[in-house]
Amino acid sequence: MRNRTRTTVPRIERAGEWLLAAHRARAAFAPLPADLAPRDVDEAYAIQSEFASMRADTLGQVTGYKIALTTPAMRAMVGVSDSIAGCMLDKTLLRHRPDAVARVRAADYVRLIVEFEVGFELAEDLPSIGAPYDRKRVAQAVAAAMPALELADDRNADYSLLPGNALMLTADNAWNEGAVLGAPVRDWQHIDLAALQGVATINAAQVGTGHGRDVMGHPLDALAWLANNLASRGFGLWRGDVVITGSLVTSKFPKPGDLVRFEAGSLGAVELYVE
């Protein structure tokens, strides 16, 4: 088979390659070149899927999802009318170990971001054919709930430019670089997730608080939104997938030597040490 020339490589694939190269070069977050830039939301998600599939070679397959821009204020700041879904790859998920605190190196990121979230692990599939999903239906599919810290990298983005490049944020997988997952709580059904208070600390100093209702009104509503977003693109959630549902606290930028902790009421706590 003859090798394809650059001009015969589909535009979406070339956009994914451009993003992969930018990440490998640790380049600052910037719009895709005009000839590769997404022209609508569907193209932005198509580029995201292409980019994620290329990263899967080293970071493992998609085993979870994140939700970004879960509040009206954040969506207005970026210039979008809806939240954004992103993929999480298997090797970027740091799962709970009772004998050790999760660790990451700040040097492995251009600029590390940590967010403070409620996570869910699924006990059953939520395929696209079952949409639309609501809070009651997705709750039936949840095996466990847990506190979680999202790991993201804005690559020194100029936030003042985001309103004109909202589709680029979607294409760039909503900046996700994984998550730290707390101990799964299997009997989560008795917990009022909307009223749950989350407290974020860095080096034991409080840096923010929030409630489960701050995320789309209820973390399970955020999970339903994610299932419906995927279904609209022909995808589903599968047993064992993990979903983090949006930050209860504003994003933080930890430095080497920081111990980040998120206490999520009856769900327990999760910690991260930044080297």
Residues 102-145: tens digit of each pLDDT? 999 999 999 999 999 999 999 999 999 999 999 999 999 999 99
Does 10 map to a domain? no
Residue reference for tokens 């009022």: 192
pLDDT value for 82: 84
And the tokens for 58?
Answer: 């080293």
pLDDT at 88 over 60: yes
pLDDT value for 2: 42
Residue 56 backbone dihedrals phi, psi, to 5 degrees: -60, -25
Mapping DSSP to helix (H, G, I), strand (E, B) and coil, where does residue 130 land? helix
What domain range is 68 assigned to?
Answer: 61-274
pLDDT value for 41: 94
Does 41 map to a domain? no
Cβ contacts of 127 within 8 Å, gap of 6 or more? 231, 236
90-122 residues labelled b (16+ CB within 10 A) or e (exposed): eebbbebeeeeebebebeebbebbbbbbbbbbb
Residue 263's DSSP bridge partners are 199, 269
User: Each residue of 193-234: pLDDT tens digit?
Assistant: 999 999 999 999 999 999 999 999 999 999 999 999 999 999
Dist. CA 241–CA 60, nearest whole Å: 13
pLDDT value for 9: 73
pLDDT value for 123: 98
pLDDT at 7 over 50: yes
Tell me the mean pLDDT in the region 146-154.
Answer: 97
Does 165 map to a domain? yes
Does 40 map to a domain? no
Rounded to the nearest integer, the mean pLDDT of the chain is: 94
Does 32 map to a domain? no
Percentage of the chain modeled with pLDDT above 70: 96
Cβ contacts of 251 within 8 Å, gap of 6 or more? 113, 114, 115, 152
pLDDT value for 78: 74
pLDDT value for 73: 66
CATH number of residue 266's parent domain? 3.90.850.10
Does 231 map to a domain? yes
Does 49 map to a domain? no
**Residues in the chain, total:** 275
Residue 262 backbone dihedrals phi, psi, to 5 degrees: -125, 115
Contact 248, 214 (CB under 8 A): yes
Phi-psi region of 257 (alpha: psi -120 to 50; beta: other; left: phi over 0): left
56 CB-contact burial (10 Å; exposed 0-12 / middle 13-18 / buried 19+): middle
Alpha helices in the chain (DSSP H): 11-24, 41-59, 72-78, 135-140, 166-171, 219-232
Measured torsion, CA atoms of residues 111, 222, 37, 18, in degrees rounded to the nearest 10: 50
Domain total for the chain? 1
